Structure formats: structure tokens, C-alpha cells
Structure 1
């Protein structure tokens, strides 16, 4: 799909605030509200915009979780899909990142206590296909 300057500016505005009203977008872009709505519809149909989402403040993502950790996971053989599928079902798993190098997956965990975190780590290590793990507890976040 060919994008012109107005499309690119519209996308930039939506990246900054996807809930910004069409009338406000139109005023900034110097086009009509209808033009903005038509362009958003076209960008959605064309797959350029694949959806709208929200960003949570880091502290709200871990509400009720006073212990956070990063766990690097080495996966044996071709078990990645099964391990990732299982990890997605763990309530303590906040994010999963596929990586290269020594570790195959890095999981960010959040738990209400060290005991709960320890239990989650035991369940992760027991998963079929998990060869090795290494966990670091997060002490603070410098940039969100």
C-alpha cells in the first residue's frame, strides 16, 4: 500500500494518541474529519494499521506483585512452541521475549511474594522441554 505524507503524519499522530478525536486529527493535518476517517479505514483495510491498543504504566502492570524477576530459559530441541504456550498460561508471566544466543526465551515475571515467585520458577523448570533457567530479581526500574 502506497502511503503519502498525510498518511504518515496521521500514523504518527495516532501512535502518540490513538484515542485522539478525528476532528482534532483533521485540524492538525489540515483536512476534513471525513478525510481522516476515510484514511483510517483505508489504512485498516490495507493492513497498515492492524489495531489499536493501550499502554499501561509499569506500576499498574504489576499491581499486587511486589516481586519482579527476569528468567532466561534454555529450551531443549524443538519444544519452543509447547514451552511458550505453557508459559502464556502462567499468571506470573508478564511478557515473553524470543531471543538468540545462549537463552531461547526471556520471561518477565511478577509475583506477590518470594514464595509465589519460587513456586512459579519450580513450575517453569518442570515444563517439558526446559533445559535450563537463570533468574535475576529486578530491584528497580530506571526507564519505563
Structure 2
């Protein structure tokens, strides 16, 4: 039997509250979550089990400030793709390990790439590599200076 699809999971207010609390503190004890939500510990545990089983909740993780590791240069690059080349451009960009995330978007820009590199020389190289990909018409890049 296949695992239910998370997209089909219907979230109620308690599910949304629980997910929000876990986003703030993925290590919060079930008893603390229950206290905040005003429900029993068993209710929280049952909901956690259901969210995990459905695939709606993938797990628990530590959140680290984006600027915690100052040894990296982080940036976002907006990319305009010519014609109907988006799929080919995405396939080529996925091969660049310095692009930590790639998003399709609406508006002027077709793609948004998140970049993480160790040096300005690496940053310059990645920008050049992206701009020479066939189908990339235009781009605009902003370096993250600090998180506020």
C-alpha cells in the first residue's frame, strides 16, 4: 500500500497551529506543545503521528540563522528565460552545486536561484556560468549582506 499524498491532507486549525509551533521550535516537547495548544498530550502525539504518516510533516530539524556561517557568500539571482526554454535551463542550472535552490516564479523573472559560495571569485564564476546557459536571456543578482 502506498503512502498517502501530503497534498491531499486536509489541515485543520490544530494542525496549522502545531506545524507553526514546530517551525518555531522543532525540539519542543509534546507536553509543551499540548499546553500551548490547550489540548491533551495524547491529542498532540496523535496529530504528529498522523502528519508524519501522511507525509505532510517530513521530520524535525534545527533552524540556523542564515548569517550564522559568515564564511559563505549568499545571494539570490533572478533569471529571465527566452522563449520556451525553461525546462532546458532548469536542467542545466541544477548541475551547478552552488545553486542551493531553484524556484519558478511569476512576473518579470522566470526563475529565482539561491546561491552559496566561498569567495567572490567563486561568485563571479557562478554568475558567468549561469549567464552563458543557452536560454538565459537576462539576470539580476543581489548579495545578502545581513539577516535582520
Query: What TM-score, normalized to structure 2?
Result: 0.70
Deviations 1:39-94 (A, max 9, x none): 222234456x332354321124x6532x4433221112222223223323322223
1:113 aligns with 2:119: yes
Query: What TM-score, normalized to structure 1?
Result: 0.71
**Per-residue deviation, 1:115:** 1.9
**Cα RMSD for the two superposed structures:** 2.8
Structure 2: which 5+ runs fail to align?
1-9
Aligned to 1:59, what secondary structure does the other structure show? coil
Deviations 1:87-129 (A, max 9, x none): 2332222333323232211223232222221211221122232
Aligned to 1:133, what secondary structure does the other structure show? strand
**Per-residue deviation, 1:22:** 1.6
How far apart, CA to CA, are the structure 1 residues paired with 2:106 and 2:64? Answer: 27
CA contact (8 A) 2:105 2:112 kept: yes
1:52 aligns with 2:72: no
How far apart, CA to CA, are the structure 2 residues paired with 1:34 and 1:64? Answer: 44
Q: Count residues in correspondence.
A: 138
